[in-house]
Chains A and B, each alone.
Chain A
Amino acid sequence: MSLKFAPFLPELLRSLFKKPVTVVYPFQKEAVAAGFRGTVVFDPAKCIGCNICVNDCPAEAIDIIRVSETEKKFKMILHNDRCIHCAQCVDSCPTKTYHMDLEYEVAAFSRHNLKIEYK
Chain B
Amino acid sequence: MAILKPILYILVYPGLIFLMVYSTFCEWFDRKLYARMQNRIGPLHTGRSGILQPVADIIKLFAKEDIVPEKADKHMFTALPVFALAIICTAALYLPVWHYSEAPSFISFPGDLIVVAYLLTLPTLIFFLAGWHSTNYFSAIGGVRVLTMLFGYEIPLLLALLSPAVLAGSWRILEIAVFFQNRPLLMLVNIIGFFIALIALQAKLERVPFDIPHAETEIVGGQFTEYSGKKLAFFRLLGDIEMVVGAGLIAAVFLGGFPGGLLPGLAWFIVKTLFIVFLLAAMRAATSRIRIDQMISFSWRWLAPLGVLQLFIVIIIKGNMP
* A positions within 8 Å CB-CB of B: 1, 3, 5, 8-9, 12-13, 15-16, 18, 20-22, 24
* Cross-chain contact A3 with B41 (CB below 8 angstroms): no
Tell whether B297 is near chain A: CB-to-CB under 8 Å: yes
User: When chains A and B are docked, how far (Å) is the Cα of A3 from the Cα of B301?
Assistant: 13
A44 CB → nearest B CB, Å: 43
Given A21-B39, A24-B44, CB of A1 within 8 Å of CB of B290: yes
Q: B97-105, B175-183, B281-289: which lies at the A interface?
A: B281-289
* Cross-chain contact A3 with B298 (CB below 8 angstroms): yes
Tell whether B294 is near chain A: CB-to-CB under 8 Å: yes
Q: In which size bucket is the chain B interface? A: 10 to 19
User: When chains A and B are docked, how far (Å) is the Cα of A102 from the Cα of B109?
Assistant: 70
User: When chains A and B are docked, how far (Å) is the Cα of A13 from the Cα of B282?
Assistant: 9
Interface of A, secondary structure class, is: loop
From residue 210 to 225 of chain B, which have CB atoms closer than 8 A to chain A? none
* Cross-chain contact B41 with A20 (CB below 8 angstroms): yes
* Cross-chain contact B287 with A24 (CB below 8 angstroms): no
A6 CB → nearest B CB, Å: 8
A70 CB → nearest B CB, Å: 58
Given A1-B294, A1-B297, CB of A16 within 8 Å of CB of B33: yes
From residue 1 to 57 of chain B, which have CB atoms closer than 8 A to chain A? 33, 35-41, 44
* Cross-chain contact B44 with A3 (CB below 8 angstroms): no
Cβ contacts under 8 Å, B298 to chain A: 1, 3
* Cross-chain contact A15 with B38 (CB below 8 angstroms): yes
B90 CB → nearest A CB, Å: 34
19 extra interface residue pairs, beta carbon distance < 8 Å, beyond A5-B286, A24-B41: A1-B294, A1-B297, A1-B298, A3-B209, A3-B287, A3-B290, A8-B285, A9-B286, A12-B285, A15-B38, A16-B33, A16-B37, A20-B35, A20-B36, A21-B39, A22-B39, A22-B40, A22-B41, A24-B44
* Cross-chain contact B39 with A15 (CB below 8 angstroms): yes
Subset of 5 A-B contacts with CB under 8 Å: A3-B209, A5-B286, A12-B285, A16-B33, A16-B36
Cβ contacts under 8 Å, A15 to chain B: 36-39
B200 CB → nearest A CB, Å: 14
